[in-house]
Chains A and B, each alone.
Chain A
């Protein structure tokens, strides 16, 4: 069997803000059908690394390669079209619209109907059905009519993930999906990520702080520290490394 090409790869990916190097020559390849957890202390550059991959930030140097194509200079919508999906750390929804409309808009973008001015939006039943289907997956089906700004925080987090899933992307990027969720809601998202992992065509990148979550989900862990990639490997090995111990365990007693 030949070695499979990685679906996503970053080569020497770097971004500088003035003199500060937020992401520093990060080279990493992600294989199809794997779940990679990205860990590191606060300010290590995890979210910035995500922003460089999904296009919200443009790299100062280096490359982002998706399916063999260089997308380093591509716009955010173009990367989305090419199969990158992103769920944001800070909830980022359409607040004055209903829950169902939020997801329907994603289905509509996916169907390429955004510029259709002559049909009535509600007449595209298939988009509404798609939205309902995704809402059922994240257990939000009963809140479909609610306006998002009035939604409880935990439900907003679920909707955040729903927007990404509705895109049906090849690469799913979760940025602390369970942050701020109540204890009984966390399993819903974790089960969802597990079921997405079953699909061998999907590649998942996960920024997460909860070590038990990472242990139960990740095939591989990479560690960022001050913007640089400092460790990469099997979860058990990486968690045992001193740098991870320091970042996640060593500092906890000091702080307390």
Chain B
């Protein structure tokens, strides 16, 4: 059963299995284990980013394609859902057609970019995606009549997904059973399903072909694979998955703006998460997203504590001041790339053998 669910692609390391299990259980029971708004926001963000990062790993780690347009597809999904909810009201039908439209548009963009530019050298494709994504971000911030510009869109979501909707009169384990909880589980289970689908794709004959294309496109052609179609399909698939992740974010946040979906900063975060977790492993997305977002959210607090504790030491206390958290995130990143060039998952698997 579990083997089928994981498509036969087991974590292949005891430590890794335990860590993954811990992450999945924590996310599944997050509302009960870590009560509080901020921790629930963090948990939902981790779920969504696991899908986003895994979909980027499908492209980068498995197909060997470097794209900078991933946040664009993420944004298309988010804006699709956001615009639908704004235009046709807070219903599930709006969510459905908005998400559908976002997915179709993302797929069409990916198909066009893929067919036009995947024939050429990898660096050229990367540049094209960078240019298209930048143009798209500018267009979105300029078209404020439609997208709200830099301010983004605030909208209502179906009442069943908001705290106002009470499912049970009493608390269960000290947690209110309301629409917010439903919303979290919508995010959690959608993310879980999307992840399992991607795990299947990378372990399918198609996924294996992508690895062959990544390793040696020249030989892949010579044994009969039409490389351009495989690359384009991978680009479209990862765009669709990113758009679905964007749609989840739009539903969860009740807000969609350039800073939460389209910014280059998020693109770089995704890259870091894939590399930290381990490229071409899928499970790396779970670890990379979890560690990175936890660091992003809690490193400042942790450093505040450290700064207070070391306030009597002149130099050290300055180093760990909360506003220097980006510096430390950078240090963490450099150390992890230096010591785990194959990512955390790669390192854990090597340890076993």
Contact = CB atoms under 8 A, between A and B. Distances in A.
A77 B221 contact: yes
B222 A76 contact: yes
B206 A105 contact: no
Nearest to A127: B205
B323 interface: no
Nearest to B218: A92
B201 A117 contact: yes
Contacts of B219: 88, 92-94, 163
Contacts, number: 96
Contact of B206 (A92, A101, A115): A115
Interface stretch (A118-126, A206-214, A238-246): A118-126
B208 A108 contact: yes
Interface of A: 54, 56, 75-77, 80-81, 86, 88, 92-97, 101, 104-106, 108-110, 113-124, 163, 167
B212 interface: yes
A118 B215 CA distance: 22
Given A75-B226, A94-B216, A105-B223, A121 B207 contact: yes
A88 B226 CA distance: 19
Nearest to A94: B215
Interface residues of B, number: 26
Nearest to A87: B222
Nearest to B237: A117
A118 to B, nearest CB: 6
Nearest to B227: A77
A96 B230 CA distance: 19
A95 B233 CA distance: 23
B223 A109 contact: yes
B204 A117 contact: yes
A194 B224 CA distance: 25
A47 B219 CA distance: 16
A30 B230 CA distance: 34
A95 B230 CA distance: 19
Contacts of A110: 224
B156 interface: no
A50 to B, nearest CB: 11
Contact of A167 (B8, B220, B224): B224
A76 B205 contact: no
Contact of A105 (B201, B203, B212): B212
Contacts of A118: 200, 204
A10 B230 CA distance: 31
A119 B204 contact: yes
B225 interface: yes
Contacts of A93: 216, 219
Nearest to B201: A117
Contact of B215 (A97, A119, A167): A97
Contacts of B208: 101, 104-105, 108, 121
B211 interface: yes
A97 B212 CA distance: 8
A97 B211 contact: yes
Contacts of A113: 205
A26 to B, nearest CB: 21
B317 interface: no
Nearest to A107: B223
Given A77-B226, A113-B205, 4 more contacts: A92-B219, A92-B222, A95-B216, A105-B208
A106 B218 contact: no
A146 B273 CA distance: 29
A120 B204 contact: yes
Nearest to B215: A94
B4 to A, nearest CB: 8
Contacts of B233: 115
B99 interface: no
Complex A-B, nearest 4 residue pairs according to Cβ-Cβ distance, in ascending order: A94-B215, A109-B224, A80-B224, A76-B221
Given A94-B211, A94-B212, A116 B206 contact: yes
Given A94-B219, A95-B216, A96-B215, A114 B7 contact: no
Nearest to B203: A120
B81 interface: no
A132 to B, nearest CB: 16
Contacts of B230: 114
A120 B212 contact: no
Given A92-B216, A94-B215, A121 B224 contact: no
Given A76-B222, A77-B225, A114-B209, A122 B200 contact: no
Contacts of B226: 75, 77
Nearest to A105: B212
B203 A80 contact: no
A114 B222 contact: no
B205 A119 contact: yes
Contacts of B8: 120, 122-123
Of the candidates A105, A118, A122, A124, the one having the most CB atoms from chain B within 10 angstroms of its own CB is A105
A36 B212 CA distance: 31
Given A95-B216, A96-B215, A115-B233, A167 B207 contact: no
Residue of B219, B221, B230 contacting most chain A CB atoms (<10 Å): B219
A158 to B, nearest CB: 16
B215 A80 contact: no
